A and B are shown apart, each in its own frame.
Chain A
Amino acid sequence: MESSTTTLRKTPLHAVHREMGAKMVPFGGWEMPVEYAGLINEHMAVRRAAGLFDVSHMGELEVRGPGAVAFLQRVTCNDVAKLKDGQAQYSALPNDSGAPLDDVIVYRRGPERYMLVVNAGNIEKDFQWLRSQGPEGCEVTDQSDAFALLALQGPLAQEILQPLTAIDLSSIAYYHFAEGEVDGHPATVSRTGYTGEDGFEIFVAPDHAEPLWRRLIEAGREKGVQPAGLGARDTLRLEARMCLYGNDMDETTSLVEAGLGWIVSLDEAKGDFPGRALLQAQKKGGPPRKLVGFEVTGRGIARHGYTVFLDGEAAGPVTSGSYAPYLQKNIGLCYLPAARAAAGTAVEIDVRGRSVAARVVPTPFYKRSKQ
């Protein structure tokens, strides 16, 4: 009951969200905007033009020192040695079962200077875990309070952002970043996101967040930019089949089961890390179960936690489920035995006591067209 009395943290943009009419909700210990003018509008703005998200609740942990690479090779599952300065990498902190303590993005700012962007609800857990793993020749510090994070996402993101910065955005490839200024604010601009669209995540000091937010909204107004909340962020990432930590994966789901085998590096030079042997076996022989996407074919919305039935037997919960605004379908994710995970497999979902038909479909549900 401690959590109910704990004060929710506020991002530097809290007052702006209120001013823009956002509905605020608790998320990962923070009070965050879930929607402004309407979730579907915001979702469609990101697919067709651009949306601006406040994701300042995300954490930033710095790993710095001559031993940084060796340490990160030991605690993350992807191959850190592949990163060049200005490059980022999707990765995770695995436990001994090959399941993620968190999924993270590793940024290489310099040969001895790395930043991990981690989920808001896991900042303290990740930080303590990293320290407990005995960093040698490097120091792990929690820099989360030093950063606000704005995500400008959508096909027009570059067009909107470019006039505000001297950084040549077209030279920043996917999962790369550059340091410079945006509208005079010192910033790190990264071509990353959680929506399935092109876009940028912009790290700035907290004091710079509000003027930058206002400037981006103003600069994008004619192009259709909209402030977008966590509600749209969730439906956008689900259409793109991006996993949400705590829902689609956690400390009990192996990375291979979750479909994240591609971020597990078994390269000899990388060496050992928690869960490596198990992940290697699952990559080779296949995992016992798989996270699959489904589409509801009956009437009803399958939501997080509803039970999925396979051949009349409970197979597990819906890990994420929602109406998908762009696809105009009801979709979701769940774990199924690997032998029954093929597209076309029929399942039923218990929607508040009613059995609703669904079938496994290929994912991602939505993939943006190449430009």
Chain B
Amino acid sequence: MYPADRRYTKEHEWVRVEGDRGTIGITDYAQKQLGDVVYLELPEVGRKLEAHGSFGTVESVKAVSELFSPVAGEVLEVNAALVAKPETINTDPHGQGWMIAVRIGDPKAVAELMDAAAYQAYVGSEAK
């Protein structure tokens, strides 16, 4: 169920790489843990992000969760439609639920992240 076209972190974010552009969101597992998402705060275009540094917060009715960037880079685009309708994170976390796109600063670091199979195994073990 986790798309093979991207990489995953232990903090449950995904990054899909096209050239030097990385699109970032949170996983289906993460949205299930959060519950109904009602609020999203994302960075401004142009902001420089560190690998595993915070790039915003997502809030469900009950919980506040920080968002961590899988890679270092500069924010190229922010999903404004998602900020207006954050519940899309629950319905389509891997598609319309994308949050930001960045220009990846360290392309080699991406290879160190989990692939879909490894992430599937990781959440399988965490769920127990």
On A, residues with C-beta under 8 Å from B are 23, 34-35, 38-41, 231, 235, 299-301, 303, 322-323, 325, 330, 352
Give complex CA distance A322, B39 in Å: 11
Binding site for A on B (CB under 8 A): 35-36, 38-39, 41, 57, 59-62, 64, 90
Q: How far is the CA of A40 from the CA of B41 in the complex (A)?
A: 20
| CB pair B36 A38 closer than 8 Å | yes
Report the Cα distance A40→B34, complex, angstroms: 13
Q: Which chain B residues lie closer than 8 Å to A235 at the CB level?
A: 61
Q: Are A323 and B39 in contact (CB under 8 A)?
A: yes
Whether the Cβ atoms of B61 and A231 lie closer than 8 Å is: yes
Q: Which residues of A contact B41 (CB under 8 A)?
A: 299-300
Q: Report whether B39 and A38 are in contact in the complex, using a CB–CB cutoff of 8 Å.
A: no
Residue A40 contacts which of B57, B59, B61, B64 (CB distance < 8 angstroms)? B61
CB distance from B87 to the nearest CB of A (A): 8
Contacts of A39 in B (CB 8 A): 35-36, 60-62
* Known contacts A301-B59, A303-B64, A322-B61: A231-B38 contact under CB 8 Å: no
Give 15 pairs: A residue, B residue, CB < 8 Å, sorted on A: A23-B35, A35-B35, A35-B62, A39-B35, A40-B38, A231-B61, A231-B62, A299-B39, A299-B41, A300-B41, A301-B39, A322-B62, A323-B61, A325-B61, A352-B64
The reply to whether A34 and B62 form a contact with Cβ atoms under 8 Å apart is yes
List B contacts of A23 (CB < 8 A): 35
Residues of B within 8 A of A41 (CB): 36
Q: Using Cβ atoms and an 8 Å threshold, which residues of chain B touch A303? A: 64
Return A21 CB to nearest CB of chain B, in Å: 11
Question: Inside 8 A of A38's CB, which chain B residues have their CB?
Answer: 35-36, 90
Alpha-carbon distance A41/B90, docked complex (angstroms): 13
A34, A35, A323, A352: the one within 8 Å of B38 (CB): A323
Give bound CA distance, A38 to B90, whole Å.
10
Q: Which residues of A contact B62 (CB under 8 A)?
A: 34-35, 39, 231, 322
Query: Which of B36, B57, B59, B61 has the most chain A CB within a 10 Å cutoff?
Result: B61
Residue of B nearest to A38 (CB): B36
In the complex, given contacts A39-B36, A39-B62, A299-B39, what are 16 additional A-B residue pairs having Cβ atoms less than 8 angstroms apart?
A23-B35, A35-B35, A35-B62, A38-B35, A38-B90, A39-B61, A40-B36, A40-B38, A235-B61, A299-B41, A301-B64, A322-B62, A323-B38, A323-B59, A325-B61, A330-B39
Q: Tell me which residues across on chain B come within 8 A of A323, comparing CB atoms.
A: 38-39, 59, 61
- With a cutoff of 8 Å between Cβ atoms, the chain A residues found around residue B59 in the complex are 301, 323
Q: How far is the CA of A226 from the CA of B61 in the complex (A)?
A: 18
Looking at the assembled complex, report how far the CB atom of B28 sits from the nearest CB atom of chain A, in whole angstroms. Answer: 14
| CB pair A231 B35 closer than 8 Å | yes
Q: In the assembled complex, which residues on chain A have CB atoms less than 8 Å from the CB atom of B90?
A: 38
Contacts of A300 in B (CB 8 A): 39, 41
- Tell me, in angstroms, the Cα distance from A39 to B61 when the chains sit together: 8
Q: How far is the CA of A40 from the CA of B87 in the complex (A)?
A: 11
| B38, A301: Cβ atoms closer than 8 Å | yes
| Separation of A23 and B34 alpha carbons in the complex (Å) | 11
Could you tell me the distance between the alpha carbons of A35 and B36 in the complex, rounded to whole angstroms? 10
- Residues of chain A contacted by B39 (CB below 8 angstroms): 299-301, 323, 330
> Could you tell me the distance between the alpha carbons of A23 and B61 in the complex, rounded to whole angstroms?
14
Chain A residue with minimal CB distance to B62? A231
CB distance from B42 to the nearest CB of A (A): 12
Q: Given the complex, which residues of A lie within 8 Å of B36, measured CB to CB?
A: 38-41, 325
Cα of A315 to Cα of B60 in the assembled complex, Å: 27
B39's nearest neighbour on chain A, judged by CB, is: A301
What CA separation (Å) do A34 and B34 show in the bound complex?
Answer: 12
Q: Which residue of A lies closest to B33 (CB)?
A: A23
Q: In the complex, what residues of A have CB within 8 A of residue B57's CB?
A: 352
The distance in angstroms between the C-alpha atoms of A322 and B64, with both chains bound, is 11
Within the complex, what minimum Cβ distance (angstroms) separates B38 from chain A? Answer: 4
Once the chains are docked, how many angstroms separate the CA of A144 from the CA of B29?
Answer: 38
What is the minimal beta-carbon distance from A98 to any residue of chain B, in angstroms? 32
Q: List chain A residues, Cβ under 8 A from B64.
A: 301, 303, 352
- Shortest A34–chain B CB gap in Å is 7
Taking the closest CB of chain A, its distance from the CB of B126, in whole angstroms, is 15
**Which residues of chain A have C-beta atoms less than 8 A from B35's C-beta?**
23, 35, 38-39, 231
Q: Using CB atoms, name the residue of chain A closest to B83.
A: A299
Q: How far is the CA of A299 from the CA of B38 in the complex (A)?
A: 11
Distance to closest chain B CB from A307 (angstroms): 16
Q: How far is the CA of A92 from the CA of B96 in the complex (A)?
A: 50
Give the complex CA separation of A231 and B60 in angstroms.
11
> Nearest Cβ distance between residue A233 and chain B, in whole angstroms?
12
Distance A299 CA – B41 CA, assembled complex (angstroms): 9
